[in-house]
Structure 1
């Protein structure tokens, strides 16, 4: 039985050079100015999307890979997405905006106050994509970078402290009478002394009318899924998009939520996907066939992009030898490494084979990839909703008007005719979007 699903857009490049490396760069949009993003986000709202998540990385990476990260704008430059958010709220009414934030970059009291201000200014449409990137630690103080699990421990303390501050105004603290604006006796004294943070409250910002900012998390490790189960409203999921894999991933998130004493239904799980939609099945078959034997230039392009993601210069390695996992520093996520490996044995598989696999395309119709028509993509979304009880998907790409139209012009009408995509919003801010059907 077809049911409506949630749709979001993941701005994978972050607040960076939209269109770089594509012909539509010649539309002459300026990525440093708001107009490009404002036009695109209006289109997403008109399409019925629940939210936009904006990736970010506050660091250009380590010295050995800076050139790799910036020469094709894979890993930078990036401006601060939190400061872009107000420009997007100003031209929309319903869509939620979730900039990426790093607990290392914001002390809890300042974060709680800034985020509360944006939640009010946006009509309760703020989300926060909480990441635990440790590679940028040197930018935020003299403390050494934390390990993977310790970074999640810090994020948990940080978010818990922010929520303490948000909730330091008890019900009834704003009586609404003509002679008294607020009741100081209804404010909670917060004195937080933790392993990573120390601060006092209460917060100098009033409570929310339609819920706190929605928390998004992207972590796929055991600790990351535990963080999501305990804290998140939205999980940015990466997994193979077959029924069995989607069911298994959802079960892990739901189990983590139950372990944390939460209702699993309180977490909306959105699987990230970057489809390549074309006008006909024949065109899809042609694209897949052309990618079957990637040349050296295509393999090198993938190596450049993976070097940026992994902050490790793969281009300096021998492509015809197996990949030595010890080349990756402790700050590189296991999820990123495993995506490169793609299920192959790193001890016996030449690096060239791993990179070539990344360059090959596959068809939606046989589950080997994401090239297909809008109808074929709608078939996949419908099947995941019916067979795996999926909540929805995040489409992945630049936030450029050409990208948005290329992907959505044919897709949106098909999804709506099938009853998969909303045609209107019900109100209630970002939490209303996530729960109004």
Structure 2
């Protein structure tokens, strides 16, 4: 039997206008109502998925580039996924929900109390996707924006403080014995006092201990500092890496080494690689899609330019497709890494049309060049990942019911028959994420 793996769904565009720009908009779901998301999470739970991670960005970007972010709803608007979580918990019994949280947006005491509340209300199924995005800093304070490593320093102090507050109630402090007429022993509470570089606060927390562990911590960072943060602090790592054996094994080794360096066990961090499959009904259809993608129309390139303009906060749609891309059009607010991801392996004289066409180009699951293929071909690839010691995968997509069913209807039975996908849950989210 094949090696069982963990499965999650990554809602990469956050709690925003689902269906916009797609034919399935005419299903008449309202993206601001919970029913759309509740329908989808019921399906994910029926499928045996462990976790839903919901991306978020509190900011619409810099004032001069907001229109680029919202004109096609690529970068906003977005509502708060933390407030969506209770509706998703109410619709499910086992699925873990991981809204994205930014330490800059939550004071530690407020965060600890709100997250503790959701952990209890959900039956211990809360996870927190902790991000260190600094682009939203101006919304929370007039202080200068932190650099990359300093943002991780703040996140570590924040998370450590939140955990200290959760632990300010040891189990023996909660008595809850009607016969003795005693609910709690206040003398056993830890009077936490934190004076740090970024936060100052006192405890103890006005909450009660967890019965099935603290909320699961997810992290997405792929830099050396980000992997170090994951090794020291995270239970799940959202991994972005080429899906070949050497890359997967190397990435997992770096996470495990970081965990050991932090005094943890290597299996304490579950690594889930994000993949974005395009599933079709036949190999012939897959070949047709891939062939068509090698000669994209100007309309297709315009859509890609709109998306890239939103992500890069730079209007690519106003540039000449057939002229070389002058990277001086990107302001200081655009990271060099984002520019490299846009340009790829193309040289400085490559026209914008060629660069965008590279982002349009698809590849086949069957030969490992891309993600277009049948459900059986995707199952083959995931099964192969298991032979590399892989913990699991995150399927990347929106949370519209059409997308979820299109992806899972044929895939789930195949994975179950091969013994790759769970059929029963173990209990709390933390229990479900234990190594198989």
Same fold at TM > 0.5: yes
Gaps of 5+ in 2: none
Q: Contact 2:3/2:386 (CA < 8 Å) preserved in 1?
A: yes
Change (3 A) 1:76 1:353: same
Look up the SS of the partner of 1:416 in the other structure: helix
Aligned with residue 287 of structure 1, among 286, 289, 304: 289
1:433 and 2:435 matched: no
Deviation string 1:348-371 (CA, Å, 9 cap, x unpaired) is 544432221110111011111100
Classify 1:47/1:143 alpha carbon distance in 2 versus 1 (closer, same or farther; 3 Å).
same
- 1:77 deviates by 0.5
What's the counterpart of residue 150 of structure 2? Answer: 150
Q: Partners in 2 of 1:337 and 1:222 — Cα distance? A: 19
Query: 1:72 is matched with which residue?
Result: 72
- What is aligned with 1:370? 371
Q: Tell me how large the CA RMSD over aligned residues is.
A: 1.6
Q: What is aligned with 1:218?
A: 220
8 A Cα contact 2:68 2:314, kept in partner = no
**Alignment pair present for 1:422 and 2:417:** no
Q: Name the CA distance, whole Å, in 1 between partners of 2:368 and 2:242.
A: 9
User: Does the residue aligned with 2:366 lie in a helix, a strand or coil?
Assistant: coil
Q: Which residue of 2 aligns with 1:6?
A: 6
Matches of 2:265 and 2:318, distance apart in 1? 48
SS in 1 for 2:264: coil
Give the count of matched residue pairs: 434
CA-to-aligned-CA distance 1:108-160 (integer Å, 9 cap, x gap)? 10000000000000000000001111111111121121111111111111111
CA distance in structure 1 between the partners assigned to 2:175 and 2:379 by the alignment: 50
- Distance in 1 (CA, whole Å) between partners of 2:363 and 2:89 is 37
Quick check: 2:8–2:393 contact (8 Å CA) kept in 1?
yes
Q: Does 1:354 align with 2:355?
A: yes
Deviations 1:278-310 (A, max 9, x none): 010000000000111122222221121112222
Structure 1 equivalent of residue 56 of structure 2: 56
Farther off after superposition, 330-339 or 186-195: 330-339
- Judged with a 3 Å threshold, the aligned counterparts in structure 2 of structure 1 residues 200 and 304 are, in CA distance, closer, same or farther, namely same
Contact kept in structure 2, 1:64 and 1:313, CA below 8 Å = no
For residues 160 and 432 of structure 1, what CA distance do their matches in structure 2 show? 22
Match of residue 276 from structure 1: 278
Determine helix, strand or coil for the equivalent of 1:64.
helix
Aligned residue for 2:110?
A: 110
3-state DSSP of counterpart to 1:240: coil
Q: State the Cα deviation string for residues 75-116 of structure 1 (Å, max 9, x = none).
A: 111000000000000110000000001111111100000000
1:348/1:374 Cα in 2 relative to 1: closer, same or farther (>3 Å)?
A: same
- Counterpart of 1:297 in structure 2 is 299
Contact 2:346 2:355 in 1 (8 A): no
Cα 1:322–1:231, aligned 2, differ >3 Å: closer, same or farther?
farther
Summarize the Cα distance change of 1:331–1:227 in structure 2 as closer, same or farther, 3 Å threshold.
Answer: farther
Question: Distance in 1 between the 2:322 and 2:80 partners?
Answer: 39
Mark the CA change 1:346 to 1:324 in structure 2 (over 3 Å): closer, same or farther.
farther
Aligned-pair CA distance for 1:177: 2.6
Residue number in structure 1 paired with 2:26: 26
Instruction: Map 1:199-238; keep pairs closer than 5 Å.
Output: 199-238=201-240
Query: What is the alpha-carbon distance in structure 1 between the residues aligned to residue 91 and residue 76 of structure 2?
Result: 26
Supply the distance in 1 between the matched residues of 2:309 and 2:257 (Cα, whole angstroms).
34
Q: 1:325 to 1:392 in 2, by over 3 A?
A: farther
Instruction: For structure 1, list consecutive stretches of 5 or more residues without a partner in the other structure.
Output: none
- Going from structure 1 to structure 2, the CA distance change for 1:253 and 1:106 (only over 3 Å counts) comes to same
Offset of residue 433 of structure 1:
1.4
1:184 to 183, 186, 196: 186
Deviation at 1:55, TM superposition (A): 0.7
For 1:136 and 1:77, how far apart are their aligned partners in 2? 14
Structure 2 match to 1:339:
341
**Residues 189 and 7 (structure 1), Cα distance of their counterparts in 2 relative to 1, 3 Å cut:** same
TM-aligned CA deviation for residue 72 of structure 1: 1.0
Q: What pairs up with 1:87-98 in 2 under 5 angstroms?
A: 87-98=87-98
3-state secondary structure, aligned to 1:175 = strand
Distance 1:154 1:209, change over 3 A: same
| TM superposition score normalised by structure 1 | 0.96
The CA distance in 2 between the partners of 1:238 and 1:107, in whole Å, is 29
Tell me the CA shift for residue 315 of structure 1.
3.0
| 2: CA distance, partners of 1:79 / 1:335 | 27
Contact 1:38 1:91 in 2 (8 A): yes
Deviates more, 1:314-323 or 1:95-104: 314-323
Q: Bigger shift: 262-271 or 328-337?
A: 328-337
